Structure 1
């Protein structure tokens, strides 16, 4: 169809450029000149059997009645010069799997949110009697705003019109994502789509296909008979609840999968809610340490001081505020303080020595490390559960994933079971003062001796090491890059797969607090007093702002960067322009990052005061 770019269908759809071609049709980008909007036009191949064209015509008419933000909308259907075509919404975005692999933090939150929306769309289809039959990452496009759109219904069929697939024994679909019953040519139910979406989730969250083989038959055989590898064995960052849901969707028997898309969606929504809370309860907002928080003030320029609380102890570097389910925790002096936001009460629990690391709060436990080198795990009510001693002080928050990873200034990285039993230990040779980062299937820890170590997270085996310079703070990661903030003030953007530095930038001052990341920029401030916004891909300076001496890490929420200074200033800065949106002064030295949480901003000072701005 080399001349199709000159064709105008139905006197209104001007074909502009080809978008793709499959076994049944070719797809064109077009302009609807009557409505003055871009559209996609799908034109069936002329060599299709008339019965196939008639069936397709009937089903597209039925699909055009669907109306859901997660389903590509069909606008028109027609025939011209012997060609059957239909016109649909043009989705300008990437395929669903581009959202993966799963990274803890903001990226993970987006992937979970998009997954929930796909299940909503599947529920809409199934409720109206439509089974897609060919769900693949390419058939789920994601708009730039993050809305997934299920598309390509070329193999869909209507349950009310064809209870049994009429071509029994003939397998159609994409082998890598095909349900076992579909591979065997059996009649299908909505559970076949759930299996296919489970395979899509597996591919997206782990970065690897569910099954691989030399040919299609080998892959189909594995779908029918072979158990999949556990998702967390390929990507330890995947939350346990998500791994369980994926495995439930991938059960061989349809009856053992979730009853329907709504059931799976309910599970995912509850997991999403808990995951959102976990980000605020994890120092630096997740294991990839982005510093990007899911909730915060909607109008930072309107913030006013609404409350002051006495924590009865210093809150010093490298501590952090964390929050979960309406309570805030922070190490203060020789104990841990908890603020109950419902009544403003502050509760304290003493430990054996000064709390020298940020706490981590899970659904059932609080983990906190002290200067005496001991990690304590306690219930939310304060009952001791776990105690693990090291041989020197601890200044790094534990990383709580499938295992508990603890970096100590005795030079060891410890991997603990939930019971406190040591699974493995790794000797780095010099002090480890910063939390490890779990990213792209590897565990990264940087030492004061100037080395970055990449370890297997399950066994602790060293994969490789590179010399970086001394590091005292957490390593954020995003977009395939690990950002290494050195004590001397240089930031290196490091590709952990190629083991190459993509760019470096000198802040010209000691770097105490971790940088923060959003979609496009890296933000960092050093003791030299300048806040920089850098392009993540190139390291080019986007903007800079003089702020004063900064010890604390940086925090981001809703497009606003928050920081505190040694001079007692708290700033809220627009991430895109560098424009100052909020400022409070006279609070006293601030050495820990401000915490945006549930519409408010919380700031703890070295003097032991906690301020709430809302």
Structure 2
């Protein structure tokens, strides 16, 4: 047993882990009154282990980067060396996954970019890590990554004489091919390991699995991993391409520029801007918005058709799309011009933007527009009353007759029949497809086969189910909101008395915002369901939108409000006419469209 107190100031509290060379403890620095981590060499450590221990200290001591754990002190107690470092308690890196559309996916990409930058600093100091795993990239409670555990660190000019006998050089599931073959290593080996860590984080599985270490190492050397989106269709193609580039077999083919995931993050943020509720997570959270206290009405525009529930505006490349009566309206924001592309029947679902603009109509067809005309459509056989969900090459379409149809490259994959009408677009989360029905059940389906995994009694569902922070937030037409853990299948809390809920929730900053037909906007704590504030706003059919610490509400009485985190109205416009679709926050303006198709542009 180690001493309870080291150097007269570090009181050991609990073990955090142990390896072949040393053990790590949570401790308290009694002199400064802060929590720290202490790494203490095993008493039976052999001379090579002792030398590696000091190599690790020397490696860490020359590194000063926010993405690398910092050494705070070095000492010895009863002949056992130890060093003190900052304590990182947010869990391993892969806790951020699997990848989901919405803020959670953005956090993974932001964290990946920070690790790339930390590795660039590490390599610039002539140090290789050689053992990057999810457990060796820990997260702070705020989700910031810290590279740690430099027990296998390789100082290019200082550690070549150390023997490899009896020493595990890396972890098989994350080991570069050249490392598996025992070849000389370069910084590109760490990049491969990061690619493997990110693959596991995005998909929930490592790139290669086998019955033993040798089987895994063989695959690293000779086989190609499956594409990440084949395991998790929510992974965007640019993100998958970046990870697969890091997993290239030949070191010279692996990109080493720190901005690799910054570019993927920017592309993802642009997609989030277009589809916060049209995406798989349906959180109602937008990445950008102007200061609402500076908003003023800048212009109005007639879209040429009725814009009604459950429609929604989406943005892509300077244009906004929304169903307007029997047609798709396109607004060029730069020119302030509107065009309308006619269809035979009324557009009854929110558009989705991917490689075109997709909309569902009352005639049971799901259309894709590229330019002024539809170049492709699917016939579902029933009236479409909910938006389509696009995941990679797959399209999921919900219909009024209770059928969820799944297609891939235009071919039918499966059909699932719920017990009631489907008015809400399905939600993809934690690897499952969730379908809310007017018969009062939430169905959890296998996205590949449509097989029913389980179902949960909720109450009639008319609005999309939101997903965030590992939870589903389920709004019901009867006025209840449930927080549900889709993995444990437990309901954490439910809030009652909201009134009929027709529009989607908004999840932002640890809160769930909900408004219904009772005319009250409520902010609830996401983890507990406790009410933070309530505010009389008027009857709400439209979904809510959140951005920049504010929630945006539009009502049947023609009010448009921006409300801050304290429940204070910081902007209000009236006399707009009934509004049934959510406001659309953009970087420089917020758009509102009323039932008759009049678009209002509020800008700064």
Quick check: TM above 0.5?
A: yes
Partner residue, 1:14: 10
Q: Does 1:538 align with 2:528?
A: yes
1:514 counterpart = 2:504: yes
Assess if the C-alpha contact under 8 Å between 1:390 and 1:410 holds in 2.
Answer: no
Equivalent pair of 1:169/1:186 in contact (CA under 8 Å): no
RMSD: 2.7
- Seen in structure 2, the aligned counterparts of structure 1 residues 390 and 190 have a Cα distance that, compared at 3 Å, is same
User: Does residue 461 of structure 2 align to residue 471 of structure 1?
Assistant: yes
Could you tell me whether the CA contact under 8 Å between 1:39 and 1:87 is conserved in 2?
yes
Alpha-carbon distance, 1:201 to partner? 1.4
Question: What is the CA-CA distance between 1:58 and the residue it aligns to?
Answer: 4.3
Write the distance in 1 (CA, Å) between the matches of 2:129 and 2:542.
Answer: 51
How far the C-alpha of 1:581 sits from its partner, in A, is 2.6
**Worse-matched range after superposition: 166-175 or 179-188:** 166-175
Q: CA separation in 2, counterparts of 1:341 and 1:327?
A: 6
Residue pairs, 1:198-347, within 5 angstroms: 198-212=195-209, 216-217=213-214, 219-224=216-221, 227-251=224-248, 253-255=249-251, 257-260=253-256, 262=257, 265-282=258-275, 284=277, 286-297=279-290, 299-347=291-339
SS in 1 for 2:300: strand
Partner SS state of residue 397, structure 1: strand
TM score, norm. by length of structure 1: 0.90
Offset, 1:469 = 2.9
Cα distance in 1 for partners of 2:208, 2:171 equals 12
Q: Which residue of 2 aligns with 1:458?
A: 448
Q: Is the 8 A contact 2:7 2:75 kept in 1?
A: no
Q: Within 2, Cα distance between the matches of 1:547 and 1:488?
A: 19
| 1:577-596 correspondence to structure 2 within 5 Å | 577-596=566-585
Which SS does the other structure have where 2:404 is aligned?
Answer: strand
User: Residues of 2 paired with 1:43 and 1:498: CA distance?
Assistant: 38
Asked if 1 retains the 8 angstrom alpha-carbon contact of 2:591 and 2:599, the reply is yes
2:346 corresponds to: 354
What is the number of residues matched between the two proteins? 601
Contact 2:276/2:286, CA 8 A, preserved across alignment: no
Q: TM-score, normalised by structure 2?
A: 0.91
Q: Equivalent residue of 2:385, what SS?
A: coil
State whether structure 2 residue 394 is matched by structure 1 residue 384. Answer: no
Q: Secondary structure at the match of 1:181?
A: helix
Aligned to 1:4: 4
Q: What are structure 2's unaligned runs of at least 5 residues?
A: none
Supply the distance in 1 between the matched residues of 2:310 and 2:377 (Cα, whole angstroms). Answer: 21
Q: 1:411 aligns with which of 381, 394, 402?
A: 402
Among 94, 106, 109, the alignment partner of 1:97 is 94
Q: Report the CA distance between 1:198 and its aligned residue.
A: 2.0
8 Å contact from structure 1 (residues 412, 428) kept in 2: yes
**Given the superposition, is the C-alpha separation of residues 443 and 267 from structure 1 closer, same or farther in structure 2, using an over 3 Å criterion?**
same
From 425, 428, 432, the counterpart of 1:442: 432
Cα pair 2:425 2:464 within 8 Å, conserved = yes
Larger CA deviation: 436-445 vs 35-44 = 35-44
| Aligned residue number for residue 587 of structure 2 | 598
C-alpha displacement of 1:173: 2.5
Q: Deviations over 1:87-120 (max 9, x none)?
A: 3333343221211122211111111111111112
* Kept after mapping to 2: 8 A contact 1:31/1:39: yes
Q: Could you give the per-residue CA deviations for residues 9-42 of structure 1, whole angstroms, max 9, x where no partner exists?
A: 6xxx533534524222233445567777554333
